[in-house]
């Protein structure tokens, strides 16, 4: 059998796609051993016979699909830690919902092209050729800690060693505070269950789960314990540990356990990244780049509640229908895009604003801290600025309806929208390029 530094499997139902990816990969990674498969069943046949360093699979396959294949890979003792990249044209709901449980390592957007995919594969293989991760190591025996830390650093891991559970908990808490609760600063916690002091390793483990509310995926925990103590091992899992090793620690076992936990952490990070991207796409208007109506009615009520003194401006682009009919809808779309860009840049230095495309040629702005007079003055400036955009030579003007909440009387988003709409109708009744205030 041919020996090489990197063994890669490509699974795709398209023979053309498999050939192109394999050809580019072979040019970029000349020593790579590449196997291509047209189905999950064919891939599993190879996986029973050979060990691979990385697997890429399309989501849609004949028979078993890409996620089914990933499930089977994770069941294999030989392949369970092998990185699996799902190549898909979009990270759909099922991929996000089931990808983590299936054991997907990462996703690649197929629409970016084959060369970008090959670059992505090279990056993943480099990351997984050795171990990469930040480990918080809590051990009160300095001699044990010194030996173990040197061992782990030899495998490429970044180690922060502390001797007490109290210090470890405080460090984790500080990191969460600095990152607004989104990042603990570490990929894995590696802790001795029996620490001296008022807090044991078990107490630290419980605090990570119950006080810091970090799940097993957000912050995996590996515990060191004594052998032949089934009761203690059960307590470790009940407290929220992902896994344990027993003393004396065997290097091969420790590294295998840490690799598994680092994979869990990496998968969680990927899932979080894609979830944020999907949420951003779902709440952003693709044409203008502003927030959309769904976001307005989801987050807008809280914005109004938190900012009792605020103004709402409803901006309508005058005669856009005529521009569409006379110049074409692409020109109309370009106008809307430019207005969205202008609004975002105009308010980029002003805090506490919510800018949305309300629909069609209408924009809705929520401006915290604005009373009626300031809002009307701002609306007049916006009208003047919009009239100077002159997108593709088209003359553009806007009519704006303005309302405000004084902070004294309770109001809500729907009431403010109705008031601004009433004011906008008043502005348009006076002609184009007008500002009108409610009441």
- CA 284, 287, 293, 299 dihedral sign is positive
Does some domain include residue 156? yes
Euclidean distance between CA atoms 6 and 28, whole angstroms: 12
Domain final position from 129, 149, 164: 129
Q: Are 276 and 196 found together in one domain?
A: yes
Domain final position from 251, 281, 311: 281
Tokens of 398: 């806007």
Element spanning 158, H or E:
strand 158-162
Q: Are 118 and 166 found together in one domain?
A: no
From the number of C-beta atoms within 10 Å of its C-beta (0-12, 13-18, 19+), residue 334 rates as middle
Helices then strands, counting H and E runs in the chain, come out as 15, 15
- The parent domain of residue 243 ranges over 134-281
How many separate domains does the chain show? Answer: 3
Of 262, 271, 276, 210, whose CA–CA distance to 240 is shortest?
Answer: 210
* Max CA separation in the chain (angstroms): 87
Query: What integer pLDDT is reported at residue 1 of this predicted model?
Result: 36
Q: Are 219 and 354 found together in one domain?
A: no
- CA 356, 358, 361, 363 dihedral sign is negative
Query: What is the strand order of the sheet 309-317 is part of?
Result: 353-359, 362-368, 309-317, 398-406, 435-437
Beta-bridge mates of residue 135? 159, 188
- 157: three-class secondary structure by DSSP: coil
Q: Are 62 and 162 found together in one domain?
A: no
Q: Are 273 and 147 found together in one domain?
A: yes
Euclidean distance between CA atoms 274 and 268, whole angstroms: 10
Domain final position from 94, 111, 129: 129
Q: Are 297 and 212 found together in one domain?
A: no
Q: Are 107 and 205 found together in one domain?
A: no
- pLDDT tens over the chain, length 439 residues: 334 478 999 999 999 999 999 999 988 888 889 999 999 999 999 999 988 989 999 988 999 988 899 989 988 878 887 889 988 876 555 666 676 667 788 888 888 888 898 888 888 887 666 567 899 999 999 999 999 999 998 887 899 999 999 999 999 999 998 887 777 789 999 999 989 889 999 999 999 999 999 999 999 999 999 887 777 888 899 889 999 999 889 888 898 899 889 888 888 888 888 788 888 888 999 999 999 999 999 999 999 999 999 999 999 999 999 999 999 999 999 999 999 999 999 999 988 999 999 999 999 999 999 999 999 999 999 999 999 998 888 889 999 999 999 887 889 999 999 999 999 999 999 989 999 999 8
Query: What integer pLDDT is reported at residue 264 of this predicted model?
Result: 87
Q: Are 217 and 298 found together in one domain?
A: no
Query: What integer pLDDT is reported at residue 224 of this predicted model?
Result: 94
CATH number at residue 63: 3.40.50.2300
Q: In this structure, what DSSP letter does residue 249 have? A: P
Please provide residue 385's backbone torsions phi and psi, each rounded to the nearest 5 degrees.
-65, -40
Does some domain include residue 287? no
Query: What integer pLDDT is reported at residue 2 of this predicted model?
Result: 39
């Amino acid at each position: 059998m041919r020996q090489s530094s990197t063994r890669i499997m490509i699974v795709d139902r398209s023979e053309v796609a498999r050939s192109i990816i394999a050809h580019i990969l072979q040019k970029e990674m000349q020593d790579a051993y590449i196997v291509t498969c047209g189905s999950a069943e064919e891939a599993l046949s190879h996986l029973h016979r050979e060990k691979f360093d990385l697997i890429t699979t399309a989501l849609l396959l004949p028979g078993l699909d890409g996620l089914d294949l990933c499930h089977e890979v994770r069941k294999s003792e030989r392949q369970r830690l092998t990185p699996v990249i799902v190549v898909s044209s979009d990270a759909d709901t099922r991929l996000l919902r089931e990808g983590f449980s299936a054991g997907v390592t990462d996703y690649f957007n197929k629409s970016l092209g084959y060369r970008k995919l090959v670059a992505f594969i090279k990056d993943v293989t480099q990351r997984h050729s050795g171990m990469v991760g930040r480990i918080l190591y809590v051990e009160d025996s300095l001699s044990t800690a010194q030996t173990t830390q040197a061992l782990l650093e030899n495998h490429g891991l970044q180690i922060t060693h502390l001797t007490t559970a109290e210090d470890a908990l405080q460090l984790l808490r500080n990191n969460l505070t600095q990152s607004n609760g989104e990042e603990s600063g570490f990929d894995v916690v590696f802790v001795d269950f029996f620490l001296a002091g008022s807090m044991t390793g078990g107490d630290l483990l419980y605090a990570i789960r119950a006080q810091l509310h970090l799940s097993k995926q957000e912050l995996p925990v590996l515990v060191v314990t004594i052998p032949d103590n089934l009761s203690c091992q059960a307590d470790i899992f009940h407290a929220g540990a992902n896994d344990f090793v027993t003393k004396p620690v065997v290097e091969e076992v420790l590294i295998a356990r840490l690799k598994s936990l680092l994979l869990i952490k990496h998968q969680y990070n990927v899932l979080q990244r894609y979830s944020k991207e999907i949420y951003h796409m779902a709440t952003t208007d693709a044409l203008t780049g502003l927030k959309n109506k769904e976001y307005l009615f989801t987050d807008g009520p809280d914005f109004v509640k938190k900012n009792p003194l605020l103004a709402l401006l409803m901006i309508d682009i005058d005669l856009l229908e005529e521009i569409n009919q006379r110049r074409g809808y692409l020109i109309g779309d370009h106008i809307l895009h430019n207005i969205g860009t202008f609004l975002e840049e105009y308010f980029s230095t002003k805090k506490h604003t919510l800018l949305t495309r309300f629909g069609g040629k209408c924009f809705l702005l929520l401006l915290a801290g604005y009373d009626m007079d300031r809002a009307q003055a701002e609306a007049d400036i916006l009208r003047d600025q919009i009239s100077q955009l002159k997108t593709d030579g088209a003359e553009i003007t806007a009519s704006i309806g303005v309302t405000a909440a004084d902070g004294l009387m309770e109001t809500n988003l729907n009431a403010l929208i109705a008031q601004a709409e009433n004011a906008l109708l008043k502005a348009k009744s006076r002609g184009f390029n007008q500002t009108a205030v409610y009441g």
